[in-house]
Structure 1
Amino acid sequence: MTPPNASPTLDALFQRILARKPDALALLDPPNKHRITGQPPKRLTYREADRAVSALAAHFVESGLPANSIIAVQLPNTIEFVLTVLAAHRAGLVVAVLPLLWRQSELVAALNRTAARAIVTSSKTDGVNYADLAMNAAAEAFSIRHVGGFGDDLPDGMASLDRAIAKPSATTRAVIQDGRKAAMVSFDVTPEGFRPVPRTHLSLIAGGLALSLESDVPQAATVMSAFAPTSFAGLASSLVVWLLSGGALALHHPFEGDVLEQQIGEHACDTLIAPAQLALRLGELNLAARLPSLRNVIGLWRAPEQVASSPTWVGQPASLTDVYLFGEAGLFGARRAADGAPSPIMPGRHGAPRELPGSSIAGEILLTARGTLALRGPMVAVAAYAPPQPPGDTLTAQAPRDYVDTDYAARLDRSTGAICITAPPSGVVTVGGYRFLSQDLAEWGRRLGHGALLTALPDRLSGHRLAGRASDNARAREALAELGLNPLMVEAFRDRSNPP
């Protein structure tokens, strides 16, 4: 059901490809999937993927999940993640993506903040029992009414989604296909604290379209995604880029370098999506000789202030596009020129691709009066970042704002007029794809008793790394694990006398 003048949804993009080439290869699992989840790797055509998506959508409808309710997903970078997202949209649901490192504390907070009605996970991933984590979190989130999982040995009360795919139902639900409807919720940490960030299909597609056009991903491309999909950038750069190209999506659960190179070679992948540091490392290891099929590399920078000082990209057959990520606020990309240096980022509107005059506006880059970088455009969820109402002045309406302040410190280069990003948000610690408030780290350190310390140290690759000190590091690890905190905090108290 599509209203007049409606923009497409992700499922509508998928079904357009399905109608053109149902027997073309669509999805490819990591070859080491058995080690990751205990399940054999799969290869699905568009027709086979469509059947699985319809079966899962029917299961969600029959489970009593109302249209427009939120379904939380905590899955590795395998075919099941893609199928679940598309099935949720086909059933008229909104997907909340949960990072894999989250444990019970963060899961419960996210489920309660979004009033999620269901959670989907796998039995085990990398040896961690995610099924038990989901069941325990669901017990503390009163809105949860359905828990589903992929894999074997699921706990009592968790529905098997593998069985739902194997025994499909004909149940359907009429869903309005309109890109202006909510598609996903991701989670950010800003100086003001933890916040859910909802986005429409249109916003999500705009992010993927900006990346696809800037990096010149060809039609029918075989795209290799080695970036965790549990964020706006993760979904836009993999799922959306794949649907826009209409080719095949090969998935790599980060990171095993030998397996990644094997996948790129075996599938003749022409586009690689990966963290920028990994992409640059591949370039240093004679990428041209070992991966001759590769023509496009999309490198995502979780610490965008590091792009300017990164190594040059020279002597490679593949082009490199730097993608600047600003938490969940938004992103923009810039393809490197022949000299291999990062392209200058100019303030104002930028198209997709940037160098083509008159191209569609992908967004706008602003400098605020505070000396910080702000974003505006179709992919930016402005309402989610609206400033809080001033205390004691509740009758005064906030002035409307059509941009999001990323809180990244920035300035203009006097000679070129380009924007220089100089520092991440104050008070926010970034460890890879995870963000914490520095005051929260200090609070958890204090809870461990006298003399305990949990802090963040600068790290060239991930932005920061966590380090902890306590009178008894082993006991501190046990206490943090019992509180349901993620492994980044727990392992900050590992014994430094032994290799990690």
Structure 2
Amino acid sequence: MNPANVSPTLDVLFQRILARKPDAPALIDPLNKPRITGQAPLRLSYREADRAITALSAHFIEAGLPANSIIGVQLPNTVEFALTVLAAHRAGLVVAVLPQLWRHAELVAALNRTAARAIVTSSTIDGVAYAELAMNAAAEAFSIRHVCGFGTDLPDGMASLDYAIANPSTTSRTVIQDGRKAALVSFDVTPQGFRPVPRPHLSLIAGGLAISLESDIPQGATLMSGFSPMSFAGLTSSLVAWLLSGGTLVLHHPFETDVLEQQINEERCDTLVVPAPLALRLDELNIAARMPSLSNVVGLWRAPEQVTSSPDWTARQASLTDVYLFGEAGLFGARRGADGVAAPVKPGSHGTRRELPGSSISGEILVTPKGTLGLRGPMVVVSAYAPPAPPPDLSLAQAPRDYVDTDYAARIDRTTGAINITAPPSGIVTVGGYRFLAHDLQEWGRRLGQGALLTALPDRLSGHRLAGRAPDNARAREALLELGLNPLMVEAFRDRAGAP
């Protein structure tokens, strides 16, 4: 196969930058990493990062992981995440991102659904023993053959990846670098239930381009990412945007505002990627005066129906790009103008910049016949969301399905022609970056017995917030922990001092 005829992979993008400027700064850890994982912060050049990637890749190969097998990754927003993803790709593996809020129940379901062969995690993250969680999940996921982690005090049977980096091996294998090959599996929750969403490298790159070109991230940018990387949007807005710019990726594990501000100023970051509600709060705190080096802010909206009603952006030295997220289906961006008002989004193609005729196309937005928002384009994996095939006798009556229905209610404004997203999918509860089926909340509440209630309440910043009530909240929390549920459900039953 002629390499000139295939699209690049993420590792090819990295190696192109490595060849140009091996000693330039590549990856910088959060300042508060000792609190997050107990490890010292790292600052790696492209040459140093490449050595670590090569060592990790060799470890995965020597562990007996076959090419094209899936490796589950549950890591914080630190240098180790970027190194692990690129090392897995260099070894010909596919990365399945596992959100940090996932505990035993979700981990086991995801590992079994994808037939993952390995898990990578950290010893602890914010005081939670993630290594123990991974070991317990691996015991119930029969495909798992290798469990490894970063950090100290790893449990027996878990291989140390810090040791692998410190004692590098030269083991390698030939991997065809083709952007059409599978690269990522993320996990979505739709009205039809939980589903894995596989993507090739070219789909990830398309998502990164949609963000970086719309927001005009410059080449050689110093990009600060304060968004969890355990999703399609999180990975493309940080790792992929960094590789496309060929600059420096500075990481911040959400979320300590003072630490974020300090690191932005110390590293002179010009681009900031954070959840949009946080970006708007920083604007209220006078982002121009407090972080003068910033010229680009990328705000990611997990609740895209809230964009049009959001406050105006007032900072003049830094532009704001609203990025609309639709679970794991896809995304698009719209950069605000000088007036700071959210830019109108019209149906049709969207590309590098809406106002530039002939700009490259990164996707297409449409309103479906049932009044919902549809997406299609190179970043959208239609097959992952395709409905079941109709019966043979009805197949001729079915229109071709070349887009993904996000199930977000939408309509076209007759005056402006812009799309108004009016409501999230029915039956889906979104708490920050975490999505549940409303039915599941009710089911878990019923398991707690008579008198217990678990429900979702509307929240302006995160979409929803969880609230619980039980005759004994402490016992309810213990029961949910024993069921292996995530802390959002557990903390819904926290005691509220002074509550009415």
TM over 0.5: yes
Amino acid in the other structure paired with 1:334: A
Deviation (angstroms), 1:400: 3.5
What is the alpha-carbon distance in structure 2 between the residues aligned to residue 394 and residue 452 of structure 1? 47
Deviation (angstroms), 1:3: 3.9
Which residue number corresponds to residue 339 of structure 1?
Answer: 339
1:121/1:131 contact within 8 Å kept: yes
Deviation (angstroms), 1:394: 7.2
SS in 1 for 2:466: strand
Amino acid in the other structure paired with 1:190: T
TM-score, length of structure 1 as denominator length: 0.98
Amino acid in the other structure paired with 1:379: M
What is the alpha-carbon distance in structure 2 between the residues aligned to residue 52 and residue 24 of structure 1? 16
Which residue number corresponds to residue 447 of structure 1?
Answer: 447
Equivalence map 1:280-429=2 (5 Å): 280-389=280-389, 393=391, 400-429=400-429
What is the alpha-carbon distance in structure 1 between the residues aligned to residue 399 and residue 264 of structure 2? 50
TM-score, length of structure 2 as denominator length: 0.98
SS in 2 for 1:493: coil
Which residue number corresponds to residue 274 of structure 1?
Answer: 274
Amino acid in the other structure paired with 2:313: W
Which residue number corresponds to residue 70 of structure 1?
Answer: 70
2:147/2:158 contact within 8 Å kept: yes
SS in 1 for 2:224: strand
SS in 2 for 1:468: strand
1:3/1:176 contact within 8 Å kept: no
Which residue number corresponds to residue 136 of structure 2?
Answer: 136
What is the alpha-carbon distance in structure 2 between the residues aligned to residue 496 and residue 296 of structure 1? 39
> What is the CA RMSD across the aligned residues, in angstroms?
1.2
What is the alpha-carbon distance in structure 2 between the residues aligned to residue 163 and residue 178 of structure 1? 30
Unaligned 5+ residue runs, structure 2?
Answer: none
What is the alpha-carbon distance in structure 1 between the residues aligned to residue 392 and residue 325 of structure 2? 33
What is the alpha-carbon distance in structure 2 between the residues aligned to residue 73 and residue 311 of structure 1? 36
**Per-residue deviation, residues 435-488 of structure 1 (Å, max 9, x unmatched):** 000011001111111121111000000000011111111111100000100000
What is the alpha-carbon distance in structure 1 between the residues aligned to residue 349 and residue 101 of structure 2? 36
Which residue number corresponds to residue 197 of structure 2?
Answer: 197
Name which of structure 1's ranges 418-427 and 444-453 shifts more when overlaid on structure 2.
444-453
SS in 2 for 1:53: helix
What is the alpha-carbon distance in structure 2 between the residues aligned to residue 350 and residue 244 of structure 1? 19
What is the alpha-carbon distance in structure 1 between the residues aligned to residue 393 and residue 242 of structure 2? 47
**Per-residue deviation, residues 194-217 of structure 1 (Å, max 9, x unmatched):** 000000000000000111110000
| Residue 458 of structure 1 pairs with residue 458 of structure 2 | yes
What is the alpha-carbon distance in structure 2 between the residues aligned to residue 134 and residue 365 of structure 1? 39
SS in 1 for 2:354: coil
1:283/1:316 contact within 8 Å kept: no
2:210/2:352 contact within 8 Å kept: yes
What is the alpha-carbon distance in structure 2 between the residues aligned to residue 141 and residue 29 of structure 1? 32
What is the alpha-carbon distance in structure 1 between the residues aligned to residue 229 and residue 329 of structure 2? 16
* Residues 423/68 of structure 1: CA separation in 2 closer, same or farther (3 Å cut): same
Name which of structure 1's ranges 465-474 and 293-302 shifts more when overlaid on structure 2.
465-474
**Per-residue deviation, residues 182-235 of structure 1 (Å, max 9, x unmatched):** 000000000000000000000000000111110000000000000000000001
Deviation (angstroms), 1:304: 0.2
What is the alpha-carbon distance in structure 2 between the residues aligned to residue 374 and residue 365 of structure 1? 6
2:287/2:315 contact within 8 Å kept: no
Amino acid in the other structure paired with 1:93: L
SS in 1 for 2:492: helix
SS in 2 for 1:66: coil
Equivalence map 1:42-61=2 (5 Å): 42-61=42-61
1:210/1:362 contact within 8 Å kept: yes
**Per-residue deviation, residues 51-105 of structure 1 (Å, max 9, x unmatched):** 0000000000000000000000000000000000000000000000000010000
* Residues 166/469 of structure 1: CA separation in 2 closer, same or farther (3 Å cut): same
What is the alpha-carbon distance in structure 1 between the residues aligned to residue 142 and residue 355 of structure 2? 51
What is the alpha-carbon distance in structure 1 between the residues aligned to residue 469 and residue 213 of structure 2? 47
Amino acid in the other structure paired with 1:303: A
Which residue number corresponds to residue 151 of structure 1?
Answer: 151
What is the alpha-carbon distance in structure 2 between the residues aligned to residue 246 and residue 348 of structure 1? 30
**Per-residue deviation, residues 264-297 of structure 1 (Å, max 9, x unmatched):** 0000000000000111111111111111110000
What is the alpha-carbon distance in structure 2 between the residues aligned to residue 227 and residue 2 of structure 1? 37
Which residue number corresponds to residue 226 of structure 2?
Answer: 226
1:287/1:316 contact within 8 Å kept: no
Amino acid in the other structure paired with 1:477: R
| Residue 11 of structure 1 pairs with residue 41 of structure 2 | no
What is the alpha-carbon distance in structure 2 between the residues aligned to residue 388 and residue 498 of structure 1? 51
SS in 1 for 2:77: coil
What is the alpha-carbon distance in structure 2 between the residues aligned to residue 315 and residue 410 of structure 1? 30
Which residue number corresponds to residue 112 of structure 1?
Answer: 112
Equivalence map 1:81-96=2 (5 Å): 81-96=81-96
2:138/2:144 contact within 8 Å kept: yes
Number of aligned residue pairs: 497
SS in 2 for 1:241: helix
1:2/1:176 contact within 8 Å kept: no
| Residue 165 of structure 1 pairs with residue 165 of structure 2 | yes
What is the alpha-carbon distance in structure 1 between the residues aligned to residue 109 and residue 127 of structure 2? 24
Which residue number corresponds to residue 252 of structure 2?
Answer: 252
Deviation (angstroms), 1:417: 0.8
What is the alpha-carbon distance in structure 1 between the residues aligned to residue 337 and residue 394 of structure 2? 49
What is the alpha-carbon distance in structure 1 between the residues aligned to residue 297 and residue 367 of structure 2? 29
Unaligned 5+ residue runs, structure 1?
Answer: none
What is the alpha-carbon distance in structure 2 between the residues aligned to residue 154 and residue 2 of structure 1? 44
